Chains A and B, each alone.
Chain A
């Protein structure tokens, strides 16, 4: 009797998966034979209330200076390279001052600053418009402030690309795999028809590593908790004047530029 009830529950639970995804883990637990399986964080994971980045542009003067960061990101995230610029995929790239900061353009800006390359990436906004418009929660803001993409759920409507005021999002207009020079097995590729962008190396933070671009920046990029007064990023922001991209839009970017 007991066992038939149990198996009934099991079957009912599993059939419900098709509709409401009753977790397998719960079903297993209901059999009461052993401890309930669970999912946990890696104890090594780096945690924060709101991750943020401070880029010291004084230390990044030329395209050469930016190259290691862009290259490592492209490599470990399997970013494809398309000859056709319409189909470009970019997570981190370089732009000039007037393109990154169109509302702060200065007529008499120092020539050095004017033509200096600026690292450009997703701002992981505090109030992200892309998250607001996504019809499936495929893009969402995590508790630690990272604006993530769930490639499994994205339907490819590209509403988030229209909503992003920073041009930080790319769409897979075709299967990217043939255009990846060397497949990196530590990270998946994407499929055609989904949107992607920088995720502050969430996969590295989860195992206790800082974002790859920060790691190779030789101290030019700081990464830390913006909510922690004693963090390195907050110290840098205390001691230096830093700007953000399009602050007037109220999106609250988490990427700061010391100029």
Chain B
């Protein structure tokens, strides 16, 4: 309500702002110089032999999550379960029985990168990696 331009409690405000800045940038300070090396993706013999995934490798790297979302909607909601890639190849859209069949264990193929990128998708809460079944 006051027109007085003087800043009240200057010291407290500035100290507060400093603490806030330190706290909010804490993750950067904390992790400084500790960057983990990017994991190296190893392809299974089967995947190597196939040469190409359902989409070009770059697209798969960048957009596999969107593709999987589309697959899941197509399978669950539209009852269309076969994917025809642009080169005419047909794939059953199935995380366990198609993706993992070619790419091997999810611990190697999925989790490594997801851990590195610090993302935790919940695919495997429901979908099963046969290699993990006792």
Contact = CB atoms under 8 A, between A and B. Distances in A.
Interface in A1-58: 14, 17, 21, 23-25, 28, 33-42, 45
A148 B76 contact: yes
Interface residues of B, number: 35
A188 B127 contact: yes
Contacts of A144: 79
Contact of A38 (B69, B77, B84): B84
B87 interface: yes
Given A24-B59, A188-B128, A191-B122, A39 B76 contact: no
B79 A23 contact: no
5 contacts: A35-B88, A45-B79, A150-B77, A151-B126, A185-B130
B126 A189 contact: yes
Contact of A37 (B80, B85, B96): B85
Contact of B82 (A17, A40, A150): A40
B83 interface: yes
Interface residues of A, number: 36
Contacts of B127: 188
A14 B65 CA distance: 11
A258 to B, nearest CB: 29
A22 to B, nearest CB: 9
B36 interface: no
Interface of B: 54-55, 59, 62-63, 66-67, 69-72, 74, 76-88, 93, 96-97, 122, 125-128, 130, 133
A236 B16 CA distance: 79
Contacts of B93: 39
Contact of A189 (B62, B74, B128): B128
A152 interface: yes
Contact of B126 (A14, A36, A140, A191): A191
B76 A188 contact: no
Contacts of A38: 83-84
A48 to B, nearest CB: 12
Nearest to A184: B128
A25 B70 contact: yes
Contact of B86 (A35, A42, A183, A188): A35
A206 interface: yes
Given A14-B66, A25-B70, A190-B126, A152 B76 contact: yes
A51 to B, nearest CB: 12
A191 B122 CA distance: 9
A154 to B, nearest CB: 11
